[in-house]
Structure 1
């Protein structure tokens, strides 16, 4: 049976998706991307090595691997990430001889990355408007000269993508700190910085507290503000297993997402042959965009009024309950219902499930963090769990769903603009350097410094920074105004085309590829979203002989920028065991690193709340109240940016979004049908979307969707133009991609 149907009068490329998440649609999508990217290459065997003990870690999401992996431990989007990296397509010197930079600027982001893998170091030549090949020595010399010409070290910004390994990220932060800056705008700043900022104040650590095995013991799971079918598909198997055990899965999300409704596992033949799929959400509450805090306060208000508290836990392990009680007492149900878009009955049903359960896990994603009050949202979830002692016991805890497969690990090994003094002391002792002590720039601050002309150099270890950030017009101009832009990448992207006075593109190995250094074949490590650290061993051939590993490129840049460096970069890169020894010296939690990470599955870092140890100033977990002002102002339409199913962050695999019924286009605005009728609009209308400051997204097509009243959605990064750089969470610096006040009207 077809999984899509096309009723009459729906816009072009829009249909209803009727199938489950996963299923035959996922298998067809994997087959198609393998055929398009890898052709008949024998490297398709790489899929069988993904997430296996002797293989490589998926370059996609950070969902953990089970202790006993299957022969096919990967998902549709992980397969896309691998085939996109292991593609047979090449972006070589002949490609750049055929295409000027001006021509490439007219290409879509999908076309740029779909062109293939980079094979040689490049620099931009303004006279010919082309990227031309250079030797590694020349590339390093040019970068080094530009960095040495800076007036001071804080004129350099060191951006890091979450796909970098622990070894590469550790060397990268060492490079920056010996150079003299803590400027680390990284991808965490744009996704889970609210977690990294908010949770330490609540529970003493900025990470999740659960393990994958905890899901086997939970008796209630809450999923708030995330879409596992697209952003972390392997989680669907875990949720399906819980559903089959009869565990209630309570969803709070503005949009109906198929990956939270039902699932058919492509890795289970009997399930694939069955006409049935596994239902996931036992209750689905469509909270209004930005209404999560009101919903959470409503739940907490009910828990407190019912006296369903773990009094012994609260007395022994927490502080601040009185202030939270006072805030909840002052919160009216009228405000809760208006802000959340949910009825009191709906919130009471959620609270009843929470109060009946003995072991509760709350999962959340960027639907919680990417708001101006994102840090407050995270702390409200922690408050809810603390009320009933849901930390430090099997099957319970908080589960932030990270994006890139090592975004958490990069932060653990030093990619932060806010280093602690004890970490800097150990780093300085290990290498004989003098790290700077002042705080550096996060992503928003880095772009502001570049716009103002205070920062002159941008070194990017992966990623597509200018496209990922809000306000592309301002970001593009800021990068173009630099003296130096260095991009360490597997594939060419739009940020490369924002040419500075000196622009270099340096090709690096991907996660799937064999890395050979002086001591022989090397491997790296990553940390998943549940703090498990394990090895990743690439085995495929590099796309060209001039492609180098990320650690080797970082070392080469460091030596060129600092001719009198005190670090023996050559020795570190020759044998990555030496890098891991130094990580252990700087971070005590990595004790016996090289031995433990060689064990199948690796090891887990210390998570204090798992043993009810709270690294807060008082040594206790903190209830943190966030009083609000209740007013009668009409609530504006709020727009959230979303990823399509064929997308991973700024990488767009195709123009399709299967689970939402979109094919071959991204120029759409998802809206509630009742809202459209009240506005005098209808599906298929072309509209302009405008913010109070006059930012406009023009000529997009309305698509009716099961989305909460008062809420709209549009694709990221196309809708980034609606978000000013100044619109961010003041506590974490995370841009407010998920709650943009707008009006819509028929297109001019």
Structure 2
């Protein structure tokens, strides 16, 4: 949607040449509409199939479903693909030709692809494209999602997730029984609630207790007034964090308890973090001043579990983080090796250098599956714009600068196509309001290389425009995009002057 300056030149301080002159990261950029990912990728795939640019040996021996995919893609008209993608047939063919001629490729995606009501289909479309040439399970190739920050990957793989057991195993009676055997007490096979589902339950008065470690639902999730009301209806809220956050200050239904947490660098025995490329890295404890009664999260959870289930007290004991790593190696076999990490620089890559090495896929038939991806129903209503949320200089919801040094955009910036702005008589810096049925965002025009009829605003400020009920069907990820009207905020009598 936006030609990111950071992709055209990025400065890496640890590399002298890059620190002085910058590093070019992108040779080509194809701008598409918000929500146009699947259409653009299907267009590239259509070109590959029409020009027979497949790796036939790989596809024949290691995949299934190509015939069904071929039929579905053949039925997609170029005009339809152009209208939804926002890119031309020539651009889609150019990208398809790049992929079809490449010997190696790594496909990288992040929240811009996944934070839609059809995010799973966007990922399937990326995988379809990668499979046409066997860009997986071998050197200099891969399908690589980028996670938000260092705690997300490992935390999810340890079962700190509503819809999966440790190791990503499905929540079912068989896997629950296996965990029960390992730990010596019954483990529930009931699927938990995702973060949006917790907020829905709280809003409906169905949540008695919320224990929140880190994060900030009030600023991270869509529709802040809805989240505020939901948090205020929970009888008991417990927040453990290393800093104060706005969600802690929401008036409680009855009680709010704030608990200080240690940082990872203060945890006795050290901890680990898992990178996007599956490297489990040791992070040691660092000497220094400690903060009052701050405790590691794992100690607090274990202490709470012993109080809630006193009959299991003798089985809910852990000697320290080294003992936890040893238990992880037993309970989550793919993490075997974590128990050997003891000092700075120690790391292990689970799954080896390549997942699906030798093109052996973790499916029932051992093959990769092509899956047809239908085009989502995305049509910008007349007189409205599609708006996407973006990051600036920030870490998660914690804003670190009012202006992004790379883009030059302030926190109230509305990134807008210059031709769209001119058509509305708007100039750079003009105050405007974005409005829809969910809320309103007051900002200023920031002329930028954005696709026409598309806008971008910073997150979390733009969450006021996002409906809380719009989520992807399988993973329950909120949709961080919306349709809005643009209202100029001009003093009376200045419209003609602005249009001159």
Shift of 1:634: 5.9
Within the candidate set 441, 463, 467, 2:219 is matched to 467
d(CA) in 2 for partners of 1:630, 1:365: 21
Q: Which residue of 2 aligns with 1:657?
A: 404
d(CA) in 1 for partners of 2:348, 2:278: 8
Shift of 1:343: 1.7
d(CA) in 2 for partners of 1:586, 1:489: 28
d(CA) in 2 for partners of 1:326, 1:628: 14
Within the candidate set 477, 483, 492, 1:734 is matched to 477
SS at match of 1:447: helix
Within the candidate set 291, 294, 297, 1:544 is matched to 291
- Counterpart mapping for 1:567-646 below 5 A: 568-569=315-316, 571-572=317-318, 574-595=319-340, 600-606=345-351, 608-628=355-375, 636-644=384-392, 646=393
Q: Which residue of 2 aligns with 1:451?
A: 203
Within the candidate set 56, 69, 74, 1:311 is matched to 56
Structure 2 vs 1, CA of residues 263 and 746 (structure 1 numbering), >3 Å: closer, same or farther? Answer: closer
Map Cα deviations across residues 368-389 of structure 1 (whole Å, 9 max, x no partner).
Answer: 0111111100000000001111
Map Cα deviations across residues 332-359 of structure 1 (whole Å, 9 max, x no partner).
Answer: 1111212122122222222222112111
Q: Which residue of 1 aligns with 2:458?
A: 715
1:437 equivalent in alignment to 2:180: no
Map Cα deviations across residues 529-555 of structure 1 (whole Å, 9 max, x no partner).
Answer: 111112111304244232212222222
Q: Which residue of 1 aligns with 2:395?
A: 648
Shift of 1:668: 2.3
Structure 2 vs 1, CA of residues 640 and 632 (structure 1 numbering), >3 Å: closer, same or farther? Answer: closer
Shift of 1:631: 9.7
- Counterpart mapping for 1:481-496 below 5 A: 481-496=233-248
Shift of 1:428: 1.0
Q: Contact (CA 8 Å) 1:426, 1:585: kept in 2 or not?
A: no
Structure 2 vs 1, CA of residues 506 and 632 (structure 1 numbering), >3 Å: closer, same or farther? Answer: closer
Shift of 1:311: 1.6
Q: Contact (CA 8 Å) 1:431, 1:567: kept in 2 or not?
A: no
Structure 2 vs 1, CA of residues 353 and 567 (structure 1 numbering), >3 Å: closer, same or farther? Answer: farther
Shift of 1:677: 2.0
- Counterpart mapping for 1:324-723 below 5 A: 324-419=69-164, 420=170, 421=172, 422-500=174-252, 501-513=254-266, 515-516=267-268, 522-566=269-313, 568-569=315-316, 571-572=317-318, 574-595=319-340, 600-606=345-351, 608-628=355-375, 636-644=384-392, 646-662=393-409, 665-691=410-436, 694-723=437-466
d(CA) in 2 for partners of 1:630, 1:445: 24
d(CA) in 1 for partners of 2:105, 2:358: 16
Q: Which residue of 1 aligns with 2:8?
A: 261
Map Cα deviations across residues 503-550 of structure 1 (whole Å, 9 max, x no partner).
Answer: 11111111233x33xxxxx11111111111121113042442322122
Shift of 1:331: 0.8
Shift of 1:328: 0.9
Map Cα deviations across residues 280-319 of structure 1 (whole Å, 9 max, x no partner).
Answer: 2111111221111111011000000111111221122111
Q: Contact (CA 8 Å) 1:433, 1:566: kept in 2 or not?
A: no
Map Cα deviations across residues 568-606 of structure 1 (whole Å, 9 max, x no partner).
Answer: 44x41x322221222122111123531267694421112
Q: Which residue of 2 aligns with 1:291?
A: 36
Map Cα deviations across residues 183-229 of structure 1 (whole Å, 9 max, x no partner).
Answer: xxxxxxxxxxxxxxxxxxxxxxxxxxxxxxxxxxxxxxxxxxxxxxx
Structure 2 vs 1, CA of residues 633 and 440 (structure 1 numbering), >3 Å: closer, same or farther? Answer: closer
RCO greater where, 1 or 2, for CA within 8 Å and sep 6 or more?
1
Structure 2 vs 1, CA of residues 264 and 305 (structure 1 numbering), >3 Å: closer, same or farther? Answer: same
Q: Contact (CA 8 Å) 2:118, 2:376: kept in 1 or not?
A: no
Q: What TM-score do the two structures reach when normalised by structure 2?
A: 0.90
SS at match of 1:334: helix
d(CA) in 2 for partners of 1:471, 1:383: 34
d(CA) in 2 for partners of 1:360, 1:701: 39
Worse-matched range after superposition: 495-504 or 535-544 = 535-544
d(CA) in 2 for partners of 1:595, 1:698: 51
Structure 2 vs 1, CA of residues 592 and 676 (structure 1 numbering), >3 Å: closer, same or farther? Answer: closer
d(CA) in 2 for partners of 1:308, 1:601: 42
SS at match of 1:659: coil
Map Cα deviations across residues 91-110 of structure 1 (whole Å, 9 max, x no partner).
Answer: xxxxxxxxxxxxxxxxxxxx
SS at match of 2:406: helix
Q: Contact (CA 8 Å) 1:614, 1:621: kept in 2 or not?
A: yes
Q: Where does structure 1 lack aligned partners over 5 or more consecutive residues?
A: 1-253, 517-521
State the aligned residue count.
479
RMSD between superposed Cα atoms in Å:
2.2
d(CA) in 2 for partners of 1:366, 1:450: 26
Q: Contact (CA 8 Å) 2:184, 2:315: kept in 1 or not?
A: no
Structure 2 vs 1, CA of residues 633 and 287 (structure 1 numbering), >3 Å: closer, same or farther? Answer: closer
d(CA) in 2 for partners of 1:631, 1:594: 48
1:745 equivalent in alignment to 2:497: no
d(CA) in 2 for partners of 1:695, 1:442: 22
Shift of 1:633: 7.9
